[in-house]
Amino acid sequence: MIMLSCIYCKNKSFQYDCGSKEHVILSSLGGIKASKNICCEGCNNRLGNEIDEPFADNFSFFSTMFNIITGRKKKASILKNEVEYNGNIYDLQPGGKFKLSKGSVRFKDSGGFSIVAGSTEQAITLLEQAKKKSKESTEDSMKIEAKSTKIFLPPQEKKLDIGGNLQFRSAAKMLITYLGTCINPERLRDGSFDKTISFIDGNLSEFSETYIGDCGLLLNLDRYNISNINHRAFIFASQEKRIVIGVLELFGAIRYTVKLSNVWNSSDFSRVYIIDPVNRKNQNFESLSNFTFDNYKECHQDSHTVLNGIESLVSNFQERQCKKHNSEIISDAINRHMKEGELITDRILFNSASEVANKLVQNFNRLDSEDSIDL
């Protein structure tokens, strides 16, 4: 029976395939593939809290906007109090809708009051409360003004910490975990990867073998895609150069390169694992075609590739949101103008099309609109 020691603390041991479940791509980023041959429960939790959670938090805006289901089949979380606008606080809902965190009642000088609410139910509750309160303070009948507002919130500033010790540690950890699924897990413990493991564990304050940006592999990696926002993990090992390189790319854009070993003494191989975090389709490739280590060169992070990465993350994201929003407008219009089982007539087509056109223009102009709530 094979016993494996935890690669981080080295104290705990477990049977083959019976260690703590460690995800290749963090489950909070939509990862599914995992290994149970890496570490103990304690180290998984410790490093999860210390490096993985803060790392994933950076991307939480995107995870919620894309409505990414996590590896534990949990829906993306609601981001509380994400935006303050016009004195109201809004939460970001999975899929990208902003909703009032808490309704409010405002008293006006004229003796009336207005209610701001996220839903009719919330408005009614607030109205009842306000009525009760107003009876205590004044006997006059109150003028009630209730409106439901639909607004386009101003663009949000997001802080994206992607390069830093903590982020590099988490990226290296994902790559080591992936490596553990590519090679005999005992090889992870033969000394070849000690420096990287020690870095992940937090024992090295600096680790010069981690880069963000280009991976130095003059190779077209684009063919290994299943969507434009997929996460990808690559491993390249060279016997001749004695190195193992890992490349992690998140949301089709942010790329980390880690030299996992420079004392590798086994055969060449290359692998890639890909997952689309939204539809959870994933794929493995063995032996990347056209890849030889001749075209590998040492390279360091440069701001240009980082900028390109962030740019493509944002544009991939906008493209998706726009597509989604447009298809919502179209299906909404068709449902409104067409009953089920009805045949399409010119009239239906014309009405649906003009509604779609109007809505698209309205969205393009980002017009604010107000609807009255019928109380």
The residue ranges that bind Zn ion (CB under 5 A) are 6, 8-9, 12, 40, 43
Q: How many CB atoms lie within 10 A of CB 35?
A: 22
- Which two tokens mark 359? 């809505």
The whole-angstrom separation of Cα 310 and Cα 230 is 14
- Which two tokens mark 310? 């962030």
Shortest spacing between CB 204 and Zn ion, in angstroms: 17
Shortest spacing between CB 180 and Zn ion, in angstroms: 14
Shortest spacing between CB 9 and Zn ion, in angstroms: 3
- Which two tokens mark 148? 């439901």
Helix then strand then coil, in percent of the chain rounded to 5, is 35, 25, 40
| Contact by Cβ (8 Å): 76, 63 | yes
Supply the DSSP string of 24-38, one letter for each residue: SS-GGGT---EESSS
- Which two tokens mark 228? 């434009």
Shortest spacing between CB 12 and Zn ion, in angstroms: 5
Helix ranges (DSSP H) in 29-185: 41-47, 53-58, 60-65, 120-137, 165-182
Amino acid at 312: S
Shortest spacing between CB 38 and Zn ion, in angstroms: 9
- Whichever of 40 and 69 has its CB closer to Zn ion, that residue is 40
Shortest spacing between CB 312 and Zn ion, in angstroms: 37
- Whichever of 12 and 359 has its CB closer to Zn ion, that residue is 12
Shortest spacing between CB 191 and Zn ion, in angstroms: 18
The whole-angstrom separation of Cα 172 and Cα 174 is 5
* Residue 68 to residues 82, 85, 89, 215, 328, Cα–Cα distance (Å): 18, 26, 24, 27, 18
Shortest spacing between CB 39 and Zn ion, in angstroms: 5
- Whichever of 12 and 102 has its CB closer to Zn ion, that residue is 12
Rounded (10°) CA dihedral 302, 303, 304, 307:
140
Rg (CA), the chain: 27
Q: How many CB atoms lie within 10 A of CB 175?
A: 26
* CB neighbour list of residue 142: distance below 8 Å, 6 or more residues apart: 111, 112, 113, 130, 131, 134
Shortest spacing between CB 42 and Zn ion, in angstroms: 5
Shortest spacing between CB 50 and Zn ion, in angstroms: 13
- Whichever of 10 and 241 has its CB closer to Zn ion, that residue is 10
* CB neighbour list of residue 38: distance below 8 Å, 6 or more residues apart: 6, 7, 19, 20, 22, 44, 176, 177, 180, 185, 188
